[in-house]
Amino acid sequence: MPGPPRWLSFIVRLTILRSQGANLLKPGYLQSTTLLGRTARWSRGLALCAVLVLAGCSFFSGLKHPVAERDRAPRVKLDEKRIADAEPRVEPRSRGGNRSVYTVFGKSYRVLDDAQGFRERGPASWYGKKFHGRLTANGERYDMYQMTAAHKHLPLPSYVRVKNMENGREIIVRVNDRGPFHGDRIIDLSYAAATKLGMLRKGTAKVEIEVIDAKAWQQAKRQKQRAPAFAAAPSIAKAANLGNVAKAPSTSVANSAVKPLPQPAIPRPAPPSGKTMLADGARHYVQVAAFSQLAAAQGVQNTLLERLNAGELPAASANVVIHPADEAALYRVRIGPLASRQQVDALIAHPSLASYMPMHGVSE
């Protein structure tokens, strides 16, 4: 074992001088066995202390102390135009993350028994690289490149439509985590979701969220796949020399004699004029959504009425109606009547309706 370093020898000498005081001035004192024994003991003690100190420094320098890492976006940038919304599907509640009441930072939160028709407005935030790969509340791995989100009260998993109130963009996300537990924020979005919603750079945005009925969404999707196309695209019709498209057949719901359900007391646009009726007597609608629950249909109806009144949709003279449930037990939300199929096509292609479930035209 190598001898003590020079600084340790200096400390030993200094300690001896301070402890012995004036005795060092006496003749022959330094040669006494007592002093030599004390000096040896001091040297061994201080050497042992120095070894322990050095070992401790070496041990602590090897530890990686947890430091608060600031969340950030990854180096890989996503093309927001290529990001696909989450597709609602019927899923059972996950085993994790669905306790009726849970506590975080000393505050208790309650999970909703039924989120049907749930809507909320408030600030949204996002989380990215810092949490990528970590377990979410329901036991899945957080993937910042997926369209997911965290919410304090919704059952896991849930599907939510999120609208950015600042730029009008809308997305659909799958809620599989708990949070955010910061201030008055209502939802935490993944990096991909924040990118598509246009709030990545700012970090937060005022949003409106609305729970989607996954079962009704899937039913409407299957119905659209089974139904024939409403009308051929203009280029296709021209290429096939089809001329004017024939009147689309009426659906069983449109021909039913059941009276429409009373609508919520919300200011509506002016009633359609006679010009809305075509020469062949047909009226055209855009079916936006279909729900098994009337309350959910009325929630979408209210939202669309607000947009019509605000002039956000190219259908100023139209209304939003709910057709009563048919054999499939679905309440259908439709915008109309519209004066032409061109208006139907324009409404279906309008950006503000892009996040709704698959839409199609209906004539009656």
**Is 67 within a domain?**
no
Q: Is there a single domain that holds both residue 298 and residue 247?
A: yes
Q: Is there a single domain that holds both residue 190 and residue 287?
A: no
Q: What is the pLDDT of residue 337?
A: 87
pTM equals: 0.49
Question: Residue 349: which region, alpha, beta or left (left: phi > 0; alpha: psi -120 to 50)?
Answer: alpha
- Give the end of a domain, one of 212, 241, 258: 212
pLDDT, tens digit, for every residue of 171-202? 999 999 999 998 899 999 999 999 999 999 89
Q: Is there a single domain that holds both residue 229 and residue 301?
A: yes
Work out the number of other CB atoms within 10 angstroms of the CB of residue 309. 14
Residue 328: CATH number of its domain: 3.30.70.1070
pLDDT, tens digit, for every residue of 200-244? 989 999 999 999 999 988 888 887 777 554 444 444 434 444 344
| For range 267-293, the mean pLDDT | 59
Work out the number of other CB atoms within 10 angstroms of the CB of residue 233. 10
**Is 72 within a domain?**
no
Side-by-side strand order, sheet with 360-363: 319-323, 331-338, 284-291, 360-363
Q: Compute the C-alpha angle 262/267/269, nearest 5°.
A: 95
pLDDT bracket for residue 264 (50, 70, 90): very low
**Is 132 within a domain?**
yes
Q: Is there a single domain that holds both residue 195 and residue 228?
A: no
What domain range is 37 assigned to?
6-61
287 phi/psi in degrees, rounded to 5: -85, 115
Q: Is there a single domain that holds both residue 126 and residue 169?
A: yes
Per the structure, how many domains does the chain have?
Answer: 3
**Is 358 within a domain?**
yes
Q: What is the rounded CA–CA span in Å between residue 121 and residue 206? A: 7
Q: Is there a single domain that holds both residue 223 and residue 286?
A: yes
pLDDT, tens digit, for every residue of 103-146? 999 999 999 998 988 999 999 999 988 889 899 999 999 999 99
Q: What is the rounded CA–CA span in Å between residue 362 and residue 335? A: 10
Q: Is there a single domain that holds both residue 112 and residue 138?
A: yes
Q: What is the rounded CA–CA span in Å between residue 80 and residue 165? A: 18
Structure tokens belonging to residue 119: 């809507």
DSSP 257-322: -PPPPPPPS---PPPP-GGGS-TTS--EEEEEEEESSHHHHHHHHHHHHHHHHTT-SS-TT-EEEE
**Is 69 within a domain?**
no
Q: Is there a single domain that holds both residue 356 and residue 332?
A: yes
Structure tokens belonging to residue 292: 């098994």
Q: Is there a single domain that holds both residue 153 and residue 243?
A: no
- Give the end of a domain, one of 212, 240, 255: 212
Residue 89: CATH number of its domain: 2.40.40.10
- Give the end of a domain, one of 172, 191, 212: 212
Q: Is there a single domain that holds both residue 143 and residue 276?
A: no
Q: Is there a single domain that holds both residue 243 and residue 304?
A: yes
Structure tokens belonging to residue 277: 């009726």
Residue 267 has pLDDT above 50, yes or no: no
Residue 54 has pLDDT above 80, yes or no: no
Q: Is there a single domain that holds both residue 222 and residue 297?
A: yes
